[in-house]
């Protein structure tokens, strides 16, 4: 009997490895690029205007952003070595960097911005290479808190920009154009759904520009004077290698934002995998590592050309799910459209002519949504009193230091300069509190052995001792040992020949979840195949005639309540949960 066709089977028309007709590839790619190109160009323009930079740098930053986003979108699609996801992940100028980029431009100029971005981008490469090690420090609570603090640092500048118009402009020009932009965007966000949501920013900006044109605030002459084809002849500022107090005060904030963007990329890389295949698959964390590495490359290139760092746009997942076309050729097509747009100055001028009040109103909505995104990340991870304390205290510490309201007179000038950025102060607080929770948590037990059947007696003795310390009976200890044995067998069978397998090491960490369950974490050298996928496939086979290699999988599914397998370039991490029987739980408590 054939399994029923799932909704996912029907939705996905072309998987990443497939090649749709060229017409479909172009149409879907052009749709992705058309939705995002306004944000890609407007983000660096808004940053440059908010910081009050000159016209040459303004034009250069837009040109450079389009080039970088085009190249990195193609890199995400084609995947070179370990850099790139191999999926459609549209790269665009990141709104999360607006606050720190504006601050850097105001306090140090474009050259300082370039230096900060280049050096801080290395954090993404480090996170990509050691993703399995840092997963306990850069938690969703830390990420959400840092994202919530981003609007705090930029909103004063946004409010100033709302009224920034040329001399002689009618008094109602700024409030009218800003209000129309804000109202249209908010009303559309609240009422429209589906693909129309992707066009909300564009429609809000168009409405605001129409009102601004009525007051003579939209510079149509700039568009008419721009050439059809060309490149900026000046604007690249070079690098500031003085490494003064401004650099050191802003570097932690830029590092934090790179980590934030990297972790958001992790979520996007997992999401795009879910919508790109007809049959559900467990997330491949090697793909995630490649996506983060490509994101780091985008930040590095952005720094080299001194523009707002690029990041993955989540709308690529939405459009992929909507169209059902996940072929990698679409990502290449998006990149080509961005590159072509970079050499069309008239298109850039059309976007750069947007008046400051309209741009500020757009940014106001963006920052509000960014704040709530931080809240959502924290809530989705599950909020208990510990996480609530970390998020709440860290947020208000960041606000206090941002406005120099916390003992500013008692803190030395050097430390005050370092902590005067809210993202830096709040982010450091969140990391330190998270580390404190980890260091003071009930002690876990761990053992290191060879990844071999010969070491099973050591693992069994270790788990029996762990169960005894928890007060669990022999039956629970046997469940732990049997689950561990089947997991070990699967890891050994996954890959390599016997000679290589003998060289592989295993680290087993045992933790208790109160009296209700035990969590066992197996960390081993990388093998082949995903255990979660194999367990899911078992449901489609005839359970009465199991294949020999499926026996361990079936037993593991029987002994455990959950299995999570994360595959990285350097290791496999398998986490299993074994529930304590209710009767045994009562005797333990």
In this predicted model, what pLDDT tens digit does every residue of 294-343 receive, in sequence order?
Answer: 999 999 999 999 898 988 876 677 667 767 788 888 889 989 888 988 88
Q: Given the structure tokens 């160009």, which residue do they identify?
A: 41
Q: Mean of the per-residue pLDDT values for the chain?
A: 77
With cut-offs at 50, 70 and 90, classify the pLDDT of residue 546: very low
How far CA 257 is from CA of 3, 95, 125, in Å, comes to 45, 11, 14
Q: Is the CB of residue 571 less than 8 Å from the CB of residue 290?
A: no
Cα–Cα distance, 329 to 19 (Å, whole number): 7
The total number of residues written for the chain in this structure: 589
Question: pLDDT at position 559, please?
Answer: 67
Least trusted range by pLDDT, from 251-255, 305-309, 560-564: 560-564
Please state, in angstroms and rounded to a whole number, the distance separating the CA atoms of residues 488 and 524: 10
452, with CB counted inside 10 A (0-12, 13-18, 19+), is: middle
Pairing of strands 505-513, 517-524: antiparallel
Residues 432 and 256: their CA atoms lie apart, in Å, by 13
Question: 419-446: per-residue pLDDT in tens?
Answer: 666 777 888 888 889 888 878 776 788 8
Is a pLDDT exceeding 70 seen at residue 10? no
Which of the pair, 544 or 67, is modelled with greater confidence?
67
Neighbours of 335 (CB within 10 A): 24
pLDDT number for residue 548: 43
Q: What percent of the chain has pLDDT over 70?
A: 78
**Integer Cα distance of 490 and 529 in angstroms:** 10
The answer to whether the CB of 280 falls within 8 A of the CB of 149 is no
d(CA 169, CA 311): 37
* pLDDT number for residue 70: 92
CB atoms within 10 A of CB 322: 16
- Tens of pLDDT, residues 178-223: 899 889 888 887 887 655 665 677 788 888 888 888 888 776 766 6
> How many other C-beta atoms can be found within 10 angstroms of the C-beta atom of residue 542?
7
Q: Work out the pLDDT band at 541, boundaries 50, 70, 90.
A: very low
Asked if 559 and 541 touch (Cβ cutoff 8 Å), the reply is no
Q: How many CB atoms lie within 10 A of CB 268?
A: 23
Answer for the pair 110, 53: CB distance below 8 angstroms, yes or no. yes
- Taking the C-alpha atoms of residue 55 and residue 59, their distance in angstroms, rounded to an integer, is 6
Of the candidate ranges 88-97, 229-238, 415-424, 524-533, the one whose mean pLDDT is the lowest: 524-533
Q: How confident is the model at residue 544 (pLDDT cuts 50, 70, 90)?
A: very low
For residues 314 and 291, give the distance between their C-alpha atoms in angstroms, rounded to a whole number.
13
SS3 content of the chain, % helix, strand, coil (to 5): 65, 10, 25
The mean pLDDT value for 245-267 works out to 81
Higher model confidence: residue 344 or residue 134?
344
* Domains of the chain, earliest start first: 9-437 (no CATH), 445-588 (3.30.565.10)
pLDDT digit string (tens) for 482-538? 888 888 887 777 655 444 555 678 888 888 876 677 888 888 865 555 544 444 544
Can you name the residues that pair with 193 across neighbouring β-strands?
none
pLDDT (tens digit per residue) in 40-55: 877 888 788 778 887 7
Q: How far apart are CA 182 and CA 483, in angstroms?
A: 57
């Amino acid at each position: 009997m054939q399994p029923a066709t799932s909704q996912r089977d029907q939705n996905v028309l072309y998987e990443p490895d497939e090649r749709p007709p060229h017409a479909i590839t172009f149409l879907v790619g052009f749709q992705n690029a058309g939705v995002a190109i306004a944000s890609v160009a407007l983000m660096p323009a808004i940053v440059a205007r908010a910081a009050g930079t000159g016209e040459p740098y303004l034009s250069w930053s837009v040109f450079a952003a389009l080039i970088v986003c085009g190249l990195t979108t193609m890199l995400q699609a084609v995947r070179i070595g370990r850099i790139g996801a191999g999926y459609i992940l549209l790269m665009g100028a990141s709104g999360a960097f607006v606050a720190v980029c504006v601050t850097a431009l105001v306090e140090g100029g474009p050259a300082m911005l370039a230096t900060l971005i280049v050096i801080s981008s290395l954090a993404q490469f480090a996170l990509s290479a050691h993703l399995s090690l840092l997963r306990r420090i850069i938690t969703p609570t830390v990420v959400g808190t840092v994202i919530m603090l981003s609007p705090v640092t930029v909103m004063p500048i946004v409010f100033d920009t709302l009224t920034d118009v040329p001399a002689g402009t009618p008094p109602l020009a700024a409030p009218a154009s800003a209000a129309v932009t804000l109202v249209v965007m908010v009303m559309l966000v609240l009422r429209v759904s589906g693909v129309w949501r992707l066009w909300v920013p564009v429609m809000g900006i168009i409405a605001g520009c129409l009102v601004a044109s009525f007051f003579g605030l939209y510079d149509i002459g700039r568009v008419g004077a721009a050439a059809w084809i060309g490149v900026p002849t000046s604007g690249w500022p070079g690098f500031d290698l003085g490494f003064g107090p401004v650099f050191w005060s802003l570097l932690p904030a830029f590092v934090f934002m790179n980590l934030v963007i990297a972790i958001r990329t992790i979520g996007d890389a997992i999401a795009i995998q879910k919508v790109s295949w007809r049959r559900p698959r467990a997330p491949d964390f090697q793909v995630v590592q490649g996506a983060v590495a490509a994101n780091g490359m985008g930040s590095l290139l952005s720094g080299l050309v001194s523009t707002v760092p690029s990041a993955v746009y989540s709308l690529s997942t939405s459009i992929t799910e909507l169209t059902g076309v996940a072929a990698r050729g679409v990502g290449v097509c998006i990149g080509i459209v961005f590159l072509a747009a970079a050499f069309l100055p008239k298109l850039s001028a059309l976007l750069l002519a947007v008046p400051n009040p309209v741009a500020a109103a757009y940014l106001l909505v963006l920052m509000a949504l960014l704040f709530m995104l931080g809240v959502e990340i924290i809530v989705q991870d599950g909020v208990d009193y510990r996480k609530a304390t970390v998020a709440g205290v860290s947020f208000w510490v960041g606000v206090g230091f941002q406005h120099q309201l916390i003992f500013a007179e008692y803190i030395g000038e050097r430390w005050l300069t370092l902590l005067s950025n809210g993202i830096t102060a709040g982010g450091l607080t969140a990391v330190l509190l998270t580390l404190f929770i980890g260091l003071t948590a009930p002690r876990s037990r761990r053992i290191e052995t060879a990844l071999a059947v010969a070491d099973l007696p050591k693992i069994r003795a270790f788990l029996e001792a762990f169960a005894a310390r928890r007060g669990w009976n022999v039956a629970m200890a046997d469940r732990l040992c049997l689950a561990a044995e089947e997991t070990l067998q699967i890891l050994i069978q996954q890959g390599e020949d016997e000679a290589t397998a003998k060289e592989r090491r295993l680290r087993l960490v045992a933790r208790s979840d109160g009296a209700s369950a035990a969590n066992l974490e197996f960390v081993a050298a990388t093998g082949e195949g995903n255990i979660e996928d194999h367990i899911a496939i078992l449901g489609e086979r005839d359970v009465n005639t199991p294949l020999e290699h499926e026996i361990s999988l079936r037993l593991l599914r029987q002994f455990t309540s959950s299995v999570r397998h994360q595959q990285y370039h350097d290791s496999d991490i398998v986490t299993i949960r074994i529930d304590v029987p209710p009767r045994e739980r009562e005797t333990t408590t």
